[in-house]
A and B are shown apart, each in its own frame.
Chain A
């Protein structure tokens, strides 16, 4: 049948843009569609499959104090006949960050298109009350988990134990101790600009940089990330969630701490420049 293109083509051209939600083409959905959990059952396993952009966006929202929620939706098989559209419900979830779908039946021969065999998993940065209101009568089919910023930190890349990183961690801890977040952010950005791409320390620095964007940074989270810069290993603090009562700490000695850290960064910069002359990347156990 011949078909005339509708005006939606023009709409599509207007809307043609990079996907706001990046979905990986190959996702091992079996692990989450069947209900597997991680972290002792505290978090859904599918969080492991988040794309980097999704993970960073959720982290940014979490450190800003927004509620980030992971959810898994198992619609009833007869939901279509009751006027429920699970796909539409999921796509319209407020402040959706990530969405995954899977079907739980494998063989087309046994498939009934009138019965819902779908499962969904999502990550949203919306207040639980707003999600409850949106999901309405499907709420009892949806399991939710609160997600803390620390739950989203994933540090990959090559290991390194460069002395400059240990020095940075030490000085950054000093800045953190006096609440000089501005100096810490500057130092982090400076070091990021000097490091190679594929190092776990760089991954930690990126998370640290994001965490410092918060109006009231979470000190426990910052401390854990600074330690990760030096060690390449991230250990979530016991309580990494920002609380509304977390007071804005007035720096005890901001005037003294900032110049010191900047001076230290200048030294680090020289060290790194020297290292760069010795090799193309900072991914060796021993540098120079």
Chain B
């Protein structure tokens, strides 16, 4: 599974797909001060990106692709 939940932190690994969006949504809503580690994230479906944009969690490490990292920083307002 490309999402690893280690409260209050969630780690993305590899390419995270559409089916992970619901779990991410539930985790971030249920976890106060949740943190997102994208260090091993190779990419993500727009559905996960959208969850990050809506809940704006703290990003503790950017993803591999600097373009994706810049977009996430833009929509979350969180710079690692």
Contacts and interface: CB of A to CB of B under 8 A. Distances in A.
Contacts of A2: 6
Contact of B4 (A1, A22, A25, A91): A1
Interface residues of A, number: 42
A24 interface: yes
B interface bracket (residues with beta carbon within 8 Å of A): 35 or more
B53 interface: yes
Interface stretch (A82-90, A192-200, A273-281): A82-90
A118 B40 contact: no
A215 interface: no
Contacts of A96: 67
A113 B13 contact: no
A162 B4 CA distance: 62
19 contacts: A5-B40, A6-B40, A8-B14, A8-B64, A19-B70, A21-B66, A21-B67, A80-B47, A87-B45, A87-B71, A91-B43, A91-B67, A101-B53, A102-B75, A103-B50, A103-B54, A108-B29, A118-B50, A118-B53
A27 B74 contact: yes
Contacts of A31: none
Interface of B: 4-6, 11, 13-14, 18, 21-22, 25, 29, 39-47, 49-51, 53-55, 64-71, 73-75, 77, 79
B27 to A, nearest CB: 12
Interface string A12-42: 1001011111111111000000000000000
A22 B70 contact: yes
B64 A15 contact: yes
A105 B54 CA distance: 8
B66 A85 contact: no
B46 A85 contact: yes
Contacts of B53: 101-103, 118
A23 B39 CA distance: 19
A124 to B, nearest CB: 12
A23 B4 contact: no
B73 A12 contact: no
A111 interface: yes
Interface string A151-170: 00000000000000000000
Contact of B39 (A9, A22, A111): A9
Contacts of A91: 43, 65, 67-68
Given A86-B46, A91-B43, 14 more contacts: A1-B5, A6-B14, A8-B41, A12-B39, A18-B66, A20-B67, A87-B45, A101-B71, A103-B54, A113-B51, A114-B21, A116-B46, A118-B49, A118-B53
